[in-house]
Structure 1
Amino acid sequence: MSDKKVTLTTHYDDKETSVDLAVLFPTLGRPVVDVRTITSQTGLFTHDPAFTATSSCESKITFIDGNEGQLLYRGYPIEQLAEKSNFLDVAYLLLFGETPSASERETYRQEIEDYSLINESLKTFFEGFHYDAHPMAMLMGVVGSLSAFYPDALNIRDADTRRKTALRLVAKMPVISAAIYKHSIGEPFVYPNPKLGYTENFLNMMFSRPNQDYEIDPLAARALDVLFILHADHEQNASTSTVRLAGSTGTNPYAAIAAGIASLWGPAHGGANEAVLKMLDDIGDISQVDKYIAKAKDKNDPFRLMGFGHRVYRNFDPRATIIRKLCHEVLAKYGSDPRLDLAIKLEEIALKDDYFIERKLYPNVDFYSGIIYSALNIPVNMFTVMFAIARTAGWVAHWNELVTTDHKIGRPRQLYTGLTQRNFK
């Protein structure tokens, strides 16, 4: 908080009104103007479609500096966490503010193991979905149904209940996701193995079969772990804002997370890495790359290069910088897909071409994550589910932060441009 103010002078209804608005200073980032008193003092609302210039909440979880290409979780640079930590510890950091001590880690890991099992009656729930239903539709439905299994989660005032809710979601999300995949291919569900780590367990539940052994590749497990860290949170994006808005009503937290999944499903949000693979399929062959680069530069051509540039970052996406090296390691081992050769060629051009450099159109995390998932034989329609597994940690952290602070139910205003009042005859 600060005693600094800005003065806004309005001319409205034949009168002039001067309003002093407080300037709030964050620990990092740009100051914000507190406009909460504008309506009471002037009778006017502010108008900010898509909330691109609006601070919707106060948060201590994640900080992004788009100009500098900086991403911090609880103050820690994403580069350090990806190199030195693991996803489960990063999830703990997001949820509770600090990385776990040795004793806390042991208790936490045991809780994750205990909560990873899903209710057996959920098997019949899966049977209600057609085999080719979109995995995100199934994920949204199954996670939402957890509200019926855990009605106690509505007791959001109780710290122990909130902790159980948070850890249940982090623990169950990969189990539910793997079960969705198994349902889609008609194979039996695989139970979590307490001897395996988080990403190793997920790979085992995805790809092991009762009639054959499955060997978990450490490189694949590490690649997924890093991707989960990079996708764990990203400040007030669309899906996180959705979780916060739903959570502000006091709804069951599982329902709030299901709402976040619905938001993430949109192709402009979590579906971006799917779009990268579709683009590579459209290009088809390395011989066509120059043609499509020219199309991308033509403002009158509807073709767009997917996986380049970012809404927030005006520099290189720091997550892409991290995953690029790992992506090439994965490709060196698994790269037999022609799409992967195409991706390397596009990356090479984008990093050297003045058109892309001037416009800051660097490959982003979606560009590399889709390639890695493809190399690891994860189906394209499961890509957004992978995103949801990781982002659950951030969603729950934001939900917990919201319900443990003084908040009001979210209620945006609108600029009405419809018909004026008229009489019905």
Structure 2
Amino acid sequence: MISESNIKTLNKLIEHAKENNKINPTYYDLYDIKRGLRNNNGTGVLVGLTEVGSVHGYVIEDDKKIPREGKLFYRGIEINEIVNGFQEDKRYGFEETIYLLLFGKLPNKKELDDFNKLLGSMRNLPSGFNENFILKLPSKDVMNLLQRTILFLYSLDDNPDDISINNIVKQSLYLIARFPTIIAYGYQAKVYNYDNKSLFIHPAREDYSTAENILHMSRADSKFTRIEAEVLDLSLVMHAEHGGGNNSAFATHVVSSSGTDTYSAIATAVGSLKGPKHGGANIKVRNMIDNIKENVKNYSNKEELKKYLKQILNKEVFDKQGLIYGMGHAIYTISDPRAMLLKEKARELAIDKNAVKEFELYENIELLTKEIFLEQKNKLICANVDLYSGFVYSMLNIPQELYTPLFATARIASWCAHRIEQILSDKKIIRPAYKNVSSINKYVKLKDR
């Protein structure tokens, strides 16, 4: 316990922190600061090169954004082609996506089979690790536990600081393979210790895909259907990569440029993704949906729903932030290809789960929000992947505590790819400039203060 006098001291320090750490907002325009590394027209400041992935949602003409249909490329291949390829073969696609992102090429059948066997052999944690580092040290937040567990794995690596590509590839594959196991066990530790629920631990199966293992390890009976695994697999593919400029990928580039170890770099990326402005958007969507259901008597009625959506935008209801979560994106304007692909699979799952009415709620939110933005702001807006990913997870009975950890399980493939690219291609430490705008002060001796 902190004493009353120490509480007073702490409160005084907090006031000093508030008083002395606010930059005059006019200075940002005065010195032409690219806040958020964004140009005035909303585009990102160009700070690096990548071949891992790219995102396209507009073109710039006369310094203005001209909307275009959204496109997402993994190693130069459009995401729609990748998805159509594995879905036509009626197989899972996330492992192929990992291979493509990390190694820059599509594997042939033997290479993919061998790769799947390799990942399968790496999924389980070291002996005693779960008991000593996860179950005995639970966290209320699974992302926090994931970040901490990554750093614990550093201590069990015989050669953790070797940043040769040979070692980084091995470390990357172990982490990619183990993320589903860590988040499943981390969630079990959380609900057992904090929610007073039963604890069950299923070992990862070598013959299962990543999506199958997640469902197997997160369900008490380990049972799942083919369509459930296919939808989760597609969600993982959709979240696997989104260019080098997104916050967690850029964080990976920054820390990797310092020469730090793989575990520190990936733990940093997890910390970035944990932020609600980056990885938690689909949780916001679910909270918004729950609020709509509570306050719109007949949410199948488009007029009633549209009226409430306008109230959300006007900061009158829900969290009063004026945002319809799952709608809009920093790059995509007319469409988000990830949302379009996941929406169709979500429709298929909704039919299987007898949840078509709820699916139509999401679809109507998408259509009506587009109408509202055109009517009120003459602006194009599109659904982003978070609108439908939260719906998919809810139909799969995946708890909200695992939404962002699942995002991390998908995105680690990209983080590792960007890390390898940074170390091989750009040897300079990333060090942008910050202009000091404080006044010159004299040191005052303690007796004179």
TM-score, scaled relative to structure 1 = 0.82
C-alpha change, 1:110 and 1:302, in structure 2 (3 Å) is closer
- 3-state secondary structure, aligned to 1:308: coil
User: Which of 46, 56, 62 matches 2:47?
Assistant: 56
- 3-state secondary structure, aligned to 1:64: strand
**Contact 1:331–1:340 (Cα < 8 Å) also in 2:** yes
Counterpart residue number, 1:293: 309
2:109 matches 1:102: yes
Counterpart residue number, 2:159: 152
The alpha carbon displacement at 1:191 in A equals: 0.8
Aligned equivalents of 1:240, 1:389: Cα separation in 2:
14
The alpha carbon displacement at 1:126 in A equals: 1.1
Aligned equivalents of 1:381, 1:365: Cα separation in 2:
18
Counterpart residue number, 1:221: 229
2:177 matches 1:171: yes
Aligned equivalents of 1:169, 1:286: Cα separation in 2:
44
**Contact 2:306–2:368 (Cα < 8 Å) also in 1:** no
User: Which of 381, 406, 410 matches 1:361?
Assistant: 381
Q: Greater CA deviation, 347-356 or 243-252?
A: 347-356
Deviation per residue, 1:335-389 (Å, 9 max, x gap): 5598656434313423544338942222110010011001111111210011000
User: Which of 190, 204, 217 matches 2:216?
Assistant: 204
**Contact 2:147–2:270 (Cα < 8 Å) also in 1:** yes
Aligned equivalents of 1:357, 1:331: Cα separation in 2:
33
The alpha carbon displacement at 1:237 in A equals: 0.4
- 3-state secondary structure, aligned to 2:214: helix
Count of residue pairs the alignment pairs up = 375
Aligned equivalents of 2:376, 2:103: Cα separation in 1:
40
Aligned equivalents of 1:278, 1:168: Cα separation in 2:
34
The alpha carbon displacement at 1:297 in A equals: 4.2
User: Which of 2, 17, 33 matches 1:47?
Assistant: 33
Counterpart residue number, 1:401: 421
**Contact 2:266–2:415 (Cα < 8 Å) also in 1:** yes
Q: Greater CA deviation, 246-255 or 88-97?
A: 246-255
2:334 matches 1:315: yes
- 3-state secondary structure, aligned to 1:316: coil
C-alpha change, 1:383 and 1:88, in structure 2 (3 Å) is same
Q: How does 1:1-400 map to 2 (within 5 A)?
A: 47-52=33-38, 53-67=44-58, 68=68, 69-85=70-86, 86-123=93-130, 124-130=132-138, 133-157=140-164, 159-186=165-192, 187-209=199-221, 214-235=222-243, 236-283=245-292, 284-287=294-297, 289-298=305-314, 302-336=321-355, 342-353=361-372, 354-355=374-375, 358-400=378-420
- 3-state secondary structure, aligned to 1:66: strand
Moved over 6 A (4+): none
Instruction: State the Cα RMSD in Å.
Output: 2.3
Deviation per residue, 1:275-327 (Å, 9 max, x gap): 10111122224436234222244378633211100011122111111111111
Structure 1 unaligned residues grouped into runs of 5+: 1-44
C-alpha change, 1:337 and 1:126, in structure 2 (3 Å) is farther
Aligned equivalents of 1:386, 1:360: Cα separation in 2:
30
The alpha carbon displacement at 1:114 in A equals: 1.5
The alpha carbon displacement at 1:139 in A equals: 0.9
**Contact 1:47–1:415 (Cα < 8 Å) also in 2:** no
**Counterpart of 2:308 in structure 1: which amino acid?**
Y
**Contact 2:257–2:427 (Cα < 8 Å) also in 1:** yes
- 3-state secondary structure, aligned to 1:63: strand
